[in-house]
Every structure is written in C-alpha cells, then in structure tokens.
C-alpha cells in the first residue's frame, strides 16, 4: 500500500528558536525615535536611535570605510543591535557576521582571513541587458540528417521550437547544441522557457498555467504565459560579492599540461588570494561602475568579541578601512580596560588600540532594569510558545536583575519541562525555584569555588 502523508506548512527551519529569533528590526518610529518596546526590542532606546542613523547612512552610501563600536556589558543587546541593523537593511545588502577568534586558521594567515571577510561584505550589483526568446513551448521537433561520419546512425541537424507569448508566436530553428540543453532541462510541450540569443542558454521557468489541473497530486509549478513579444530585450540583475569575483579568478581554469590536470583532480587546500589579483579586480569593478554596468553595494562586516583580535589584526584593520573599496565595519566588545592581545604591557579600553578607537563611532549599551527584563522574558516565552504565569515571570525577572538576563532566559525551557512532568501546562513559581536549585548561576558557582577552592585543580 502506498503511503501518502500531508506536508505541513512551514519548514522545520522556521520552527527553530535561536537566541535572537524575536528581533525583527530596530523598532523605530518614522521620525527616528525609538519606541520602548517594538520589533522584539526592549529598552536601549539611545543605542537603537544611533543604529537607526547608521542604517540611514549605509542606505545613502555615506558610510563606506567607517567603523562603529558597540560597547557594553554581557547580555546588553550588542549582537541583537547588529542583527537588527541587518534586518533593517534587507537581504540585498551583504551582511557578514564573524567572531574575533574566527580568523585564526592553520591554513590561511589571519590578515588574509580578515580581508576575505571584508570582501564578502562588499556587494556588486551587475545589470545586463540580454536578448531573449521567451514563451510557452508549442512545438518541439528535432530534425535528423545522415551522419557525416558514415554508418547507419543519424544525427540531429537542428531543432524546431515553437514559442507562444501574450503578443504572438514564433518558430525558431536552433543549433543541435541547444537541443542538448533542452534535454537537460527536460523541456516538453506546454513548458514556459527562455532562451538567451547570444549564448544559447536555455532555462525552464515552469509549466504553463493553461495546463493547470484540479488534481492535488500534480506536482508541477505553474507559471503564466509571458507578456509581450516572444523576442525581447530583458534586463537581468545579478548580485555578487567581491570575494566571489576573487575566487572565480583565482581558481585554475584548466589546461592540457599534467600540472593543470592534477590541479583539477586533487582538491587544493584553502590558499591565499594575492593583493595583485584583488587590485586588478578592483580596477575592472571601477571600470564597470564608471560605465554604468554595475553598482557597488557596501555591506556590513560585523566582528563580535573584537577584543579577541591581536595587535597585528588591529593594525591591518586600520589600513583596510582606508581602502577605496571598503564595507561598513561594526565591532562589538564587552571588555573594560584590558591588555590588547598580542602585547604584554599595552592596555586600552574595550581591548582596542587607542589609534583605532579614535576613529570609531562608539555606541554604548547599558544593563536592563527589572521592567525591561520582565518584558524580555515575556517576549521570549511567547516566541518559544511557553505559557508562564505572571508570578513566575516576576520571579525570573528578579533573578535576572540579581544574576544576569541570560540566566533568567535559560531557565525558561527547563522550567517548562518540569511543569509538564508535574502535569501542568503552565510554568509556576515552584517550577522556577526548582530550576534554580538544579542549575546554578555564574555568581553562585564562583562562590562555591572560593569556599572550596582546595577541591578544584589549579
């Protein structure tokens, strides 16, 4: 017996809940002022307003090569602010989030890894006008001829394709090589396709909606017949990053010699892209921009835990920010006065050298108060689909003020499991208290270490 099961709407990915799933934007009014609670954000009004100005600068392309530092204690919303900026900018602007420790690799030196992420955060929007034939396939007839090499077999000499659009029909005589592309795309009569006139590339868009049926088991995607003439000029916009161009030009293109063949067969290790190659790509990009063929889209490189970078990386960062083509760099640090990594005697605020610190726009974040934590706990409970009584939310908020916001939020899911074990659908104060006895916070853990230090290894 064939098993048929209904597919539920919404992918498993949409149902997952991450630390910042509830953040939908900066939650600003039309005049740029922040609402107390909006778009998943609570409090931090001044920081959100500052980030709103940064978003406006990025959209106006006035922020390229500049850097911002989000400075504040742990759990004060620095990463949430950066993600909210990416939400406000939309999917068309490149956003590259990394952590300071991510650039250390055994294969690639750290300055190269840093530059690679810089290039990933710079987009190029290429506009190209192509001549295409677009329409519904009404006829698909391959014409055969005698094989010129002899023998009994026949070969395809050309293929006749009939296309119908909203304003007429055309019959095309196509090269045999295009017929191979048609076969690869599995094109049949009734499909909507488009063929590029210059390259002969064939793309199957979908099944014509004239063939749509009422059967639920039909698995085709139906598309309308294209409007206009069959033969038309179409503007195609393609978004790439500068790193994509670097990799495409650095990859060996092949050849007949033994080294080229071996290079194609063996998987090469991750290697550096030379500055000379990047400079050449930059020249071509600038040429395209001057001709109006392409448009530069400076994106955002977000470096969390920036104090993990060492003095060499900070020096390189200074130089990279001054380049002609550079993204907006947003840094985040939760450190106070500390020693700069890679040195033994140089201390600075936030673990960032003073020369780099002087060129940053610094946005401070402050600890949340009791009211803010209560609202955040309520939002997280709603996001995770957890039912919590008001008294339990108050208890969690109080613990959040005494310990940390993160600790209070981490108790939500275990408390839900305990309430279900007890046969309740709603979290009560007793569940929160039991969770606190099972899972201690960082301060209590430190107190245990101080009292019984002899029991631990040094």
- The predicted-structure confidence for 37-89, as pLDDT tens digits, reads as follows 777 777 878 888 888 888 888 777 766 667 888 888 888 888 888 888 888 88
The answer to whether residues 66 and 363 touch, using CB atoms and an 8 Å cutoff, is: no
pLDDT of residue 271: 56
Torsion on CA atoms 210, 214, 216, 219, rounded to nearest 10: -10
pLDDT of 220 over the 70 cut: no
pLDDT of 267 over the 70 cut: no
The answer to whether residues 313 and 358 touch, using CB atoms and an 8 Å cutoff, is: no
pLDDT of 187 over the 70 cut: yes
Average pLDDT over residues 192-204: 80
Residue 43: burial class (beta carbons within 10 Å; 0-12, 13-18, 19+): buried
What the chain holds in terms of domains, given with CATH numbers, is 17-121+299-364 (3.40.50.300), 127-238 (2.40.50.360), 370-453 (1.10.8.60)
What's the mean pLDDT when you consider all of the chain?
79
Place 10 in a pLDDT band, splitting at 50, 70 and 90.
very low
pLDDT of residue 193: 82
Average pLDDT over residues 105-112: 77
Share of the chain above pLDDT 90, in %: 0
pLDDT of residue 256: 47
The pairing of strands 191-196 and 202-208 is antiparallel
State the Cα–Cα distance between residues 310 and 312, nearest whole angstrom.
6
Q: How far is CA 51 from CA 31, 188, 369, in A?
A: 14, 52, 21
Average pLDDT over residues 136-140: 84
């Amino acid at each position: 017996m064939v098993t048929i099961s209904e597919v539920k709407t919404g992918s498993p990915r949409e149902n997952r809940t991450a630390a910042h799933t509830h953040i939908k934007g900066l939650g600003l009014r039309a005049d740029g002022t922040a609402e107390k609670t909006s778009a998943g954000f609570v409090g931090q009004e001044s920081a959100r307003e500052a980030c709103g100005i940064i978003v406006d600068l990025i959209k106006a392309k006035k922020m390229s090569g500049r850097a911002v530092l989000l400075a504040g204690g742990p759990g004060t919303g620095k990463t949430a602010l950066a993600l909210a900026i990416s939400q406000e900018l939309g999917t068309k602007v490149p956003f590259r989030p990394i952590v300071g420790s991510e650039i250390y690799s055994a294969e690639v030196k750290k300055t190269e890894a840093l530059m690679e992420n810089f290039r990933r955060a710079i987009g190029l929007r290429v506009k190209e006008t192509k001549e295409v034939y677009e329409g519904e396939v009404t006829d698909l007839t391959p014409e055969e001829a005698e094989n010129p090499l002899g023998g009994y077999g026949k070969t395809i000499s050309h293929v006749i394709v009939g296309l119908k659009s909203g304003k007429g029909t055309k019959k095309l005589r196509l090269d045999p090589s295009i017929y191979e592309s048609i076969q690869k795309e599995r094109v049949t009569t009734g499909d909507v396709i488009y063929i590029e006139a210059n390259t002969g590339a064939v793309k199957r868009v979908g099944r014509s909606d004239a063939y749509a049926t009422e059967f639920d088991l039909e698995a085709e995607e139906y598309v309308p017949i294209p409007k206009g003439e069959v033969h038309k000029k179409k503007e195609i916009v393609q978004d790439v990053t500068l790193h994509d161009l670097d990799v495409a030009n650095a990859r060996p293109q092949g050849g007949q010699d033994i080294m080229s063949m071996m290079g194609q067969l063996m998987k090469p290790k991750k290697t550096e892209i030379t500055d000379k190659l990047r400079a050449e790509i930059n020249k071509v990009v600038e040429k395209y921009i001057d001709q109006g063929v392409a448009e530069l889209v400076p994106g955002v490189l977000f470096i969390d835990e920036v104090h993990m970078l060492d003095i060499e990386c900070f020096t390189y960062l200074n130089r990279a920010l001054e380049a002609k083509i550079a993204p907006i760099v947003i840094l985040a640090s939760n450190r106070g006065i500390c020693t700069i990594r890679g040195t033994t005697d140089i201390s600075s605020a936030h673990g960032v050298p003073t020369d780099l610190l002087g060129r940053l726009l610094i946005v401070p974040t402050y600890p949340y108060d009791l009211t803010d934590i209560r609202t955040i706990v309520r939002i997280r409970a709603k996001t995770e689909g957890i039912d919590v009584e008001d008294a339990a939310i108050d208890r969690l908020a109080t613990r959040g003020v005494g310990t940390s916001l993160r600790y209070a939020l981490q108790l939500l899911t275990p408390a839900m499991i305990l309430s279900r074990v007890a046969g309740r659908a709603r979290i009560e104060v007793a569940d929160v208290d039991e969770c606190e006895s099972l899972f201690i916070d960082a301060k209590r853990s430190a107190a245990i270490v101080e009292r019984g230090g002899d029991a631990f290894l040094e």
